[in-house]
Structures are given as structure tokens and as C-alpha cells.
């Protein structure tokens, strides 16, 4: 899978390729495993992990709209049966203006 092309397909703004490269490196292990490579929007436990481990722990967010942004990302990517975790995380980081957290 060409992850950069996938991000470009869903991103609302031009892709920050430095941030994408940083995310690719940070999540290389996750993306290498079939059972963690994709986000399952129909699984409440999975969505809780995205909220707790990515939005709160990694991005340091505390706002009340975290679940709404996850749902909006699920809706935005609904045409894609296999929602790449890298693309999903990129879109959430973009939404919250946190892409710079991945630029080294």
C-alpha cells in the first residue's frame, strides 16, 4: 500500500511530507502488523484506543470533542473498507494542528 497516496486521497490540505515521514517512522512497527495496521471504526474499543493512546497521550489533547473528531474521520474515510492507521492518525493530527509534533 502506498501510504502517502492514501493520505493525499483523504487530506483536506496539501500533505505535510515531513510530518508524514515522521509519522511513518514512529508507527513503522504498528503498520507492519496486519492486526494493527487498520482502524476498525465499528469497534468501540478500537475507537477508545485511538482517543486514549493517540489523541490524549501522543498529541496531548484534552478537549471534549475528541470522540466527535474520531467519528468525523471515520465518516470521511467511510468509502475505504481498510482505514489505514497512518492515514487516520495523520487526518486527526491535521485536524488538531498537531502535525509539527512529528517533524524532527
Per-residue pLDDT tens digits for 49-100: 999 999 999 999 998 899 999 999 999 999 998 999 999 999 999 999 999 9
Rounded Cα gap, residues 62 and 66, in angstroms: 8
* Centroid of chain to Cα 27: 10
pTM of the model: 0.94
Amino acid at each position: 500500500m502506498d501510504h502517502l497516496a492514501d493520505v493525499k486521497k483523504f487530506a483536506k490540505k496539501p500533505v505535510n511530507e515531513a510530518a508524514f515521514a515522521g509519522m511513518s517512522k514512529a508507527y513503522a512497527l504498528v503498520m507492519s502488523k496486519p492486526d494493527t495496521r487498520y482502524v476498525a471504526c465499528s469497534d468501540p474499543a478500537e475507537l477508545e484506543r485511538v482517543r486514549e493512546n493517540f489523541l490524549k497521550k501522543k498529541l496531548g489533547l484534552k478537549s471534549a470533542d475528541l470522540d466527535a473528531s474520531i467519528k468525523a474521520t471515520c465518516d470521511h474515510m467511510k468509502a475505504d473498507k481498510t482505514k489505514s492507521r497512518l492515514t487516520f492518525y495523520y487526518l486527526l493530527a491535521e485536524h488538531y494542528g498537531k502535525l509539527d509534533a512529528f517533524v524532527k
